[in-house]
Amino acid sequence: MNLLEVKNLSVQYGSGQGGVLAVDGVDLSVGVGEFVGLAGESGCGKTTLAMAIPNLLPKYASITTGTIEFEGQDLSNKSESELNEVRWRDISVIFQGALNALNPVATIGNQIAEPILIHEPGTSHDAAITRAKELLEAVGISASRSSSYSHEFSGGMRQRVMIAMALACRPKLVIADEPITALDVMTQAQILELLRSLSETFNLSMLLISHDLSVLAETCDRVQIMYAGKVAEVGTADDVFGEQNSAHPYTQRLLKSYPNIHQERKFIDGIPGYPPDLSKSHAGCRFAERCTVSVEKCFTDEPELAVISELHRSACHLVGGSK
């Protein structure tokens, strides 16, 4: 059984006519100890999907259909106080932009100790602080800095603090939402390395969101590409990113959008146009208008996720068609 099994999940922002269906009937699974990457352009529903898992969506968002099974229990219809039991103890989040994700007026030691004290009642404050210090050491920050405040750290170090905090209760699943986006390349590499080694030490499963495909290719066991609130392609990192393997034109174009530093300098091959307006209903494939290989059918029939190989699926009528 998978640790996390999301089925047919839809999340809507707002309601009625002006409502935006940000996630539309999406499946997602994360196995025990597995690293799953979630990629796609901005606004394609990655973060919404991830935040729906422990239901950290804003007030004006709601889960309209689907189930979120975590260790066999459905989180999608749990109350806020029931979810509070699961949050951080089982599912923690490394938030996008950790620069503002730490409370400015509390010491980081107290902030890391806080979930321990909440989820493990009976733990003394001193014991929790000691564990916070151990966690800081584990992410490469001196324990003596546990009484510092977040503004006294650099961006990379705050991200390390955030990671230490995410691991505080030894969760089973860590959702890392763009954990390295705001950092420089050297720090990015360090943080990724840290995440990888910690996941082995702590036996973590991870859902890693990034729009940097090379990061996902390097780190993840499986990768899921999203477009306009739908899954475009899912498979092992090799299935999705392998030279001859990507089966969805969107993935192929995404891969071409990254410059190759070994090649001659030239304009990178972006994808013209924008993702469609999700407040309107769509017929056919959502990528059809920007797709260079679309055929008539693409504009009328919505493609299903078609099986390509054991783990590889692609939502394209021309599966494997345009190499």
Partner 1 sequence: MGYLPRKSLQVLGSIFAVTTFNFFLFHIIPGDPLRLIARTQKLDAEQVAALRIEYGLDGSLFSQYLTYIGNLLHGDLGYSFALHEQVSTALMRALGHTALLLATSTVIVVLFGIFLGVFAGSRQGSKADSRTIIGALVFWSMPTFWVGMLLVFTFGVWWGVLPISGITTPNAVYETYFSYLMDIARHLVLPTLTLALVDIAFFVLITRTSLVEVMSEDFMLTARGKGLPRRTLVWRHGVRNALLPVMTASALYISGLVGGAIQVEVVYSWPGMGLLMYNSVLARDYAVLEAAFLVSSVVVILANFATDVLYRRLDPRVVVAQ
Taking the least distance from each CB to partner 1, the nearer of 96 and 245 is 96
Task: Considering only the stretches 69-77, 82-90, 222-230, 272-280, report the one whose residues sit in contact with partner 1 under the rule CB under 8 A.
Answer: 82-90
Alpha carbons 5 and 246: distance in angstroms, whole number: 24
**Can you read off the two tokens belonging to residue 90?**
């089982």
Contact with partner 1 (CB under 8 A): which of 73, 77, 103, 197?
Answer: 103
For residue 75, state whether it binds partner 1 (rule: CB under 8 A).
no
Strand partners for 31: none
Site mask for partner 1 (CB under 8 A), range 153-182, x = bound: ---------x--x-----------------
Alpha carbons 34 and 24: distance in angstroms, whole number: 24
Closest CA to 177 of 278, 65, 40, 275: 40
For residue 56, state whether it binds partner 1 (rule: CB under 8 A).
yes
Burial (CB < 10 A; 0-12, 13-18, 19+), residue 217, is: middle
CB 270 within 8 A of CB 287: no
Contact with partner 1 (CB under 8 A): which of 104, 121, 122, 272?
Answer: 104
Whose tokens are 């192929």? That residue is 252
For residue 85, state whether it binds partner 1 (rule: CB under 8 A).
yes
Closest CA to 67 of 22, 21, 4, 13: 4
Least distance to partner 1, CB of residue 103, Å:
5
Residues 272-291 that bind partner 1 (CB under 8 A): none
Closest CA to 161 of 178, 143, 181, 182: 143
Taking the least distance from each CB to partner 1, the nearer of 93 and 291 is 93
Size of the site for partner 1 (CB under 8 A): 31
CB 49 within 8 A of CB 26: yes
Task: Considering only the stretches 97-105, 201-209, 212-220, 221-229, report the one whose residues sit in contact with partner 1 under the rule CB under 8 A.
Answer: 97-105
Q: Count the Cβ atoms, other than its own, within 10 Å of residue 8.
A: 11
Residues 177-216 that bind partner 1 (CB under 8 A): none
Taking the least distance from each CB to partner 1, the nearer of 12 and 92 is 92
Task: Considering only the stretches 16-24, 90-98, 203-211, 263-271, report the one whose residues sit in contact with partner 1 under the rule CB under 8 A.
Answer: 90-98
Amino acid identity, residue 263? Q
Alpha carbons 78 and 271: distance in angstroms, whole number: 40
Contact with partner 1 (CB under 8 A): which of 1, 72, 80, 277?
Answer: 80
Site mask for partner 1 (CB under 8 A), range 113-152, x = bound: -xx--xx-----------------------------x-xx
For residue 70, state whether it binds partner 1 (rule: CB under 8 A).
no
Show Cβ contacts of residue 65 under 8 Å, excluding neighbours closer than 6 positions.
Answer: 8, 9, 10, 25
Could you list the residues that contact partner 1 (CB under 8 A)? 54, 56, 80-81, 83-89, 92-93, 95, 97, 100-106, 114-115, 118-119, 149, 151-152, 162, 165
